[in-house]
Amino acid sequence: MTHIATGAEDDFSDSIAQKVIDIVVERAHADRTEVTPEARLFDLTDSLGVTEIVMDLEDEFEGSMPDEAVGTIQTVGQLIDYVRTHFPAPRPKDATGP
């Protein structure tokens, strides 16, 4: 099933999901086909890997994820939902500098 974005919010959400998936794939050293919304984080990586994923997400989205929240997130989909609802909107990266 293909999701077709119908508005700016959908585009934004899709970009968040893709960035979260990119970080999980990189940190978990997982095949992209394994990283689905239903995939359990601890099936993809260990606790150190999850910590690195959280740190990368905090850096990327300039937000913070308390330990209590990390402990409740079990799947990639839950992680994406948490980032969508608790982290500020990502700002475009300024490639030109000051």
Residues with a known catalytic role? 46
Over its C-alpha atoms, the chain yields an Rg (Å, rounded) of: 14
CB 53 within 8 A of CB 41: yes
> 76-86 vs 8-28: helix axis angle to the nearest 10?
130
CB 89 within 8 A of CB 12: yes
